[in-house]
A and B are shown apart, each in its own frame.
Chain A
Amino acid sequence: MAKFSGTRAHVYLAMLPVWIIVLVALVSSTVWTFVISLTNSKLLPVYKFNFFHQYELLLKQPAWQVAVSNLIVFGVLFIAICLVFGFVMAIMMDQRIRGEAFFRTVFLYPYAMSFVVTGLVWQWVLNPGFGIQAAVRGLGFENFTFDWIVQPDRAIYILVLAAVWQGSGLVMAILLAGLRGVDEDLWKATRIDGIAKWRVYTSIVLPIIAPMAATATVLLAVSVVKAYDLVVALTGGGPGNATEVPAKFVMENLFARQNVALANAGAIMMLVAVIAILVPMYYARRYMAQKAEV
């Protein structure tokens, strides 16, 4: 019994750093962010309160509403495509192929590159004047048209394309790690039973690596909510406001427009939205898990 409580003490000791980080750095900074959002701070924080005035301003701004709806379209498409594409890539990589290190590096490298410049390269490639469209027309296909980046109702898909290019390799790596954690004996067993390989992946392996898929989803969702560099480098939010996103709104107000309070209100609104999505998901999963145990 004494030994047991000693071990428990070690557990709490191990948890100490993370508690300090969470409480001192993350929670208190979040509270501070909220407090500032209730003031009329401009460039530097001041504590003159006008309560929910910033939120009122924020929700009235068409720019904010447009940014939020753009983000939903972008986020759903980006996460779905990345997960499917990443999973397929991971399975292909798992076939004991030659040149695995080469392919893994090729699929991952976009993740290592600063979007400040790769965004610019995408913009060149997609520019109708001198990118793919011009190159294909130069080959003799005069009517070939690929100018989504300058079309207000299509530009958001271009954002998805470039984001998938950057993010799907990481999903591949995470799911591949999950696949490599799957017990070798399982494969032997299914081979003996003569079950088709694709069925093993979809109905046996996928549930096993579900926690890793969840990790990948959260990572993708985080990058969706924080999407900023990509937009700035690729479209600058345009054409018009077709690719404006909330994080860009927050960043612009934080620095260029010198409106810290409004920016913080935007950040808090994003946080509230995230909690509103995560909490029901958490309880739904717990409920499912309990049902499964019964």
Chain B
Amino acid sequence: MRMSSEKTLARTGVYAFLVISAAFFLMPFYVMVVTSLKTMDEIRVTSIFALPDTPTLQAWVTAWQSACTGLNCNGLSVGFFNSVMIMVPATVFSILLGAVTGYALSFWRPKGTGLIFGILLVAAFIPYQVFIYPLVRMLSQVGLYNSLAGIVAIHVIFGMPIMVLLFRNYYAGLPRDLFSAARVDGGGFWVIFIRLILPLSPPILIVAVILQSTHIWNDFLFGLVFAGSDNQPMTVLLNNIVNSTQGEKAYNVNMAATILTAAVPLIIYLASGRWFVRGIAAGAVKG
């Protein structure tokens, strides 16, 4: 009896912590949602926390299909597919490359491991804005400047430091005996990666997807500079809607546009649930 009441107390504590934390995280979101449902006249006079008098979805409709992003007043919708076209290949390639490199660095330790890891680590800290001009020159020399392939390449390049770091450190936490046993069994580089390492990787793969897809989806500067006018991502349009310096500011449309732009990463976060399952690693070891 004592045990179970203690347990109930602990469970209550866990949920209390989670709910209070969630409230902290959701507070700005609440302000964004209620603001997006108000008219500008209402925003000018009511408290930011007040619920809308007569909620309207007009701002959402405007943000999606008729907000002006320059001469074109077609809202964010235009950029949605461009963003998908950029995000999917760039995320897949950078994660693949990161996983293979992280695996090679932590288990095979080829010559130059320390050097390459050090350079990647340091490179992660450079504000990449300063890289714009040299990269523009390089890409235009190979004919990739202002193209879909070019922007994907840029994301793969700048995703590399973080991806390699992520996978190498995760693999460093795995028991080395597993790898040694597989080597003794005569497994080659790719066989061990595919048969042993990948099945152990789902939790870190999902973190990598969260990181990379969000980074790429939310990138503004690279999209602006490298993607070219035919491939403009959603964030460039979002910026055009919310960021005009001297024009009037439609806060309701801005809030709706921001939530809409974040929708894809949010869905990824929500869907990643079943991959975060405890025991996958344990199961793989036994099986």
| Residues of A near any B CB (own CB < 8 A) | 3, 6-8, 10-12, 14-15, 17-19, 21-22, 24-30, 32-33, 45, 88-89, 92-95, 97, 100-101, 103-114, 116-118, 120-122, 124-125, 130-131, 134-135, 138, 165, 169-170, 173-174, 176-185, 208-212, 214-215, 218-219, 221-222, 225-226, 228, 247, 250-251, 254, 260, 263-264, 267, 270-271, 274-275, 278, 282
Given A18-B116, A92-B18, A135-B47: A218 and B124 within 8 A (CB)? yes
A125→B269 CA distance, assembly (Å): 26
Beyond known contacts A33-B126, A112-B269, A114-B262: 17 more, CB 8 A cutoff: A29-B135, A89-B18, A104-B276, A110-B28, A112-B262, A114-B218, A116-B258, A117-B254, A125-B28, A138-B47, A177-B276, A178-B173, A181-B281, A184-B281, A209-B173, A250-B129, A278-B118
CB nearest to A274 among chain B residues: B125
A122→B29 CA distance, assembly (Å): 10
A228-B127 in contact (CB<8A)? yes
Contact check: which of A3, A89, A112, A218 meets B21 at CB < 8 Å? A89
CB nearest to A25 among chain B residues: B157
Q: List 8 A-B contacts (CB under 8 A).
A: A104-B272, A104-B276, A107-B22, A111-B214, A117-B32, A130-B47, A178-B203, A215-B165
Least CB distance from A130 to B in Å reads 6
A93→B273 CA distance, assembly (Å): 12
Least CB distance from B150 to A in Å reads 12
B10-45 to A contact mask, C-beta < 8 Å, 1/0: 010011011001101111110110010000000000
Given A10-B189, A170-B211: A105 and B269 within 8 A (CB)? yes
Given A14-B101, A97-B15, A107-B21: A215 and B276 within 8 A (CB)? no
With a CB–CB cut-off of 8 A, which chain A residues contact B257?
117
B132-191 interface (Cβ within 8 A of A): 133-135, 138, 156-157, 160-162, 164-166, 169-170, 172-174, 186, 188-190
A266→B72 CA distance, assembly (Å): 38
- B81 interface hit (Cβ, 8 Å): no
B116-A19 in contact (CB<8A)? yes
Contact check: which of A12, A134, A177, A184 meets B47 at CB < 8 Å? A134
Contact check: which of A14, A18, A24, A116 meets B238 at CB < 8 Å? A116
A278→B119 CA distance, assembly (Å): 11
With a CB–CB cut-off of 8 A, which chain B residues contact A97?
14-15, 18
| Residues of B near any A CB (own CB < 8 A) | 11, 14-15, 17-18, 21-22, 24-29, 31-32, 35, 47-49, 97, 100-101, 104, 108, 110, 112, 116, 118-127, 129-131, 133-135, 138, 156-157, 160-162, 164-166, 169-170, 172-174, 186, 188-190, 200, 203-204, 206-207, 210-211, 214, 217-218, 220, 235, 238-239, 242-243, 254-255, 257-259, 261-262, 265-266, 269-270, 272-273, 276-282, 285
